[in-house]
């Protein structure tokens, strides 16, 4: 039976996080039991009070040895991990991506195959397409709001934040025949297994396998049918990602097999839906807790200023990001923060957690980090990682997330009307009350 931390220990608000961990060491001489209890407590803090926990680590033990991994909290050290992809690899996720999706960017470290696939996908996802994607997001968000506008309350998670990215991304990719409900249903088990199933829970693996087994054949079928359509209609403009990838098969240098294309499309769904939804939810929730700032954000939304509303959204997410950090696996012995008083020798095979949330509040790099300040330089925000695994869809997320908030805020006076429910850590529902303005 798993030993649990007693409630008195958990409620020691007068003690620092580090002191509470030290108390466990002092209380239990058996190392396995001590580490088990520390791990439970650290997991609780990372879920419930991550900013407070990481801030303390950054100030007192910036490279912190937890029982099963190392937590890195200084901005410079987080960036060193992100940018040194030859040492700090994605191998912890590689086998899961291969199992759940197939060979795809997220399963690859820096290699010729990685460069080949990424170069082809850049042609299929040109940055200048952001304007087209902007149009899609606006249209799909308004359609959703039309359905909920007459209600006094609506569910921010299920009726808006999860559906919007599914609708927008399927349309942009060229997979509109797949229902957004199906996309939402598939992507969470896939995402959970790849990125959140650190202990390799067999039930989570099974759920992901079931999602893949339903999704992949459907995408394969749509690709085959689109092939036939394009053969019969060779003058059809290639305006979706799928059509571009299929058209580029005619050129050896830009050829991707149907299997590769299918893997990529499913991988993009997996990597974007829940993260985008969580970002929308957290930005809205954070703004609703700041009445003065919320009023300014609403005014920016009413003025149709994409740039202004984006500044509020990214700053809100700096305090409450969709993810607090990322795991990496140290491939070979390495000295992190070399030449500083905190330099630490890390052995090959060590799991590293780069706490981007802590880095975004590091006073050594972020001016007055405790203040909510719009207009910070872009390097203040680490939502999209850095190095070769900078989020592939970054420029589309920069469009979609602020737009989703911009369209929503003028709906009326929004109030949180109940507790958020979660599905094993993922937002499941959050009722929002809409108080219409009286004209």
DSSP β-ladder status, 153-155 and 431-435? antiparallel
pLDDT value at 4 more than 70: no
How many whole angstroms separate alpha carbon 245 and alpha carbon 243? 6
How many whole angstroms separate alpha carbon 321 and alpha carbon 228? 43
How would you classify residue 421: left for phi > 0, otherwise alpha for psi between -120 and 50, otherwise beta?
beta
Query: What pLDDT does 435 receive?
Result: 85
pLDDT value at 293 more than 60: yes
DSSP 161: I
* Angle, CA 296 vertex, CA 291 and CA 297 arms, to 5°: 90
How would you classify residue 368: left for phi > 0, otherwise alpha for psi between -120 and 50, otherwise beta?
left
How many whole angstroms separate alpha carbon 52 and alpha carbon 50? 6
DSSP β-ladder status, 153-155 and 88-89? unpaired
Q: Please state the three-class secondary structure of 198-253 as a single string.
A: CCCCHHHHHHHHHHHHHHHHHHHHHHHHHHHHHHHCCCCCCCCHHHHHHHHHHCHH
Query: CB under 8 Å to 360, separation ≥6 — which residues?
Result: 75, 318, 321, 366, 369, 380, 381, 382
Q: Tens digit of pLDDT for each residue in 261-278?
A: 999 999 999 999 999 999
DSSP β-ladder status, 70-72 and 88-89? unpaired
pTM across the whole model: 0.93
DSSP 423: E
DSSP 420: P
Domain 49-435: CATH superfamily is Cytochrome P450 (1.10.630.10)
Average pLDDT over every residue of 218-234: 94
> Chain centroid to CA 371: how far?
24
Which of 8-22, 89-103, 267-281, 392-406 has the weakest average pLDDT? Answer: 8-22
Report residue 236's pLDDT band, with 50, 70 and 90 as the boundaries: confident
Average pLDDT over every residue of 47-59: 96
Identify the CA nearest to 96 among candidates 27, 192, 29, 177. 192
Spatial contact of 284 and 156, defined as CB atoms under 8 Å apart: yes
The full set of domain ranges for the chain reads 1-8+16-22+30-48, 49-435
Spatial contact of 129 and 289, defined as CB atoms under 8 Å apart: no
3-state secondary structure of 434: strand
């Amino acid at each position: 039976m798993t030993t649990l931390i007693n409630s008195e220990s958990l409620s020691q608000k007068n003690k620092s996080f580090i002191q509470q961990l030290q108390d466990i060491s002092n209380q239990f001489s058996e190392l396995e039991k001590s580490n088990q209890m520390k791990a439970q407590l650290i997991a609780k803090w990372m879920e419930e009070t991550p900013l407070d926990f990481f801030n303390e680590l950054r100030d007192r033990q910036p490279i912190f040895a937890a029982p099963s991994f190392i937590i890195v909290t200084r901005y410079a050290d987080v960036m060193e991990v992100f940018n040194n992809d030859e040492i700090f690899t994605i191998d912890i996720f590689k086998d899961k991506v291969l199992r759940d999706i197939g060979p795809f960017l997220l399963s690859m470290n820096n290699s010729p195959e990685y460069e080949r696939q990424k170069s082809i996908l850049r042609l299929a996802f040109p940055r200048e397409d952001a304007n087209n994607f902007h149009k899609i997001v606006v249209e799909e968000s308004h359609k959703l709001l039309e359905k909920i506008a007459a209600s006094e309350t609506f569910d921010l998670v299920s009726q808006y934040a999860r559906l919007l990215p599914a609708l927008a991304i399927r349309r942009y990719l060229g997979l509109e025949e797949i229902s957004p409900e199906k996309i939402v249903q598939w992507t969470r088990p896939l995402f959970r297994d790849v990125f959140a199933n650190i202990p390799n829970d067999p039930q989570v693996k099974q759920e992901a396998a079931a999602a893949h087994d339903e999704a992949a054949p459907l995408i394969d079928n749509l690709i085959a049918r689109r092939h036939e359509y394009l053969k019969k209609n060779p003058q059809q403009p290639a305006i979706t990602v799928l059509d571009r990838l299929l058209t580029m098969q005619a050129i050896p240098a830009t050829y991707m097999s149907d299997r590769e294309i299918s893997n990529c499309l499913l991988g993009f769904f997996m990597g974007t839906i829940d993260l985008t939804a969580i970002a929308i939810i957290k930005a809205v929730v954070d703004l609703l807790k700041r009445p003065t700032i919320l009023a300014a954000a609403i005014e920016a939304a009413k003025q149709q200023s994409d740039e202004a509303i984006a500044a509020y959204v990214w700053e809100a997410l700096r305090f409450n990001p969709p993810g607090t950090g990322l795991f990496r696996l140290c491939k070979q012995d390495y000295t992190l923060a070399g030449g500083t008083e905190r330099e630490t020798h890390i052995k090959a095979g060590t799991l590293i957690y780069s706490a981007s949330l802590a880095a975004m509040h590091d006073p050594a790099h972020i001016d007055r980090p405790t203040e909510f300040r719009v207009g910070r330089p872009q390097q203040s925000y680490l939502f999209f990682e850095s190095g070769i695994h900078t989020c592939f869809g970054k420029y589309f997320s920069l469009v979609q997330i602020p737009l989703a908030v911009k369209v929503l805020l003028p709906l009326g006076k929004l109030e949180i009307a109940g507790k958020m429910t979660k599905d094993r850590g993922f937002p499941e529902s959050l009722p929002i009350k809409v108080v219409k303005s009286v004209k």
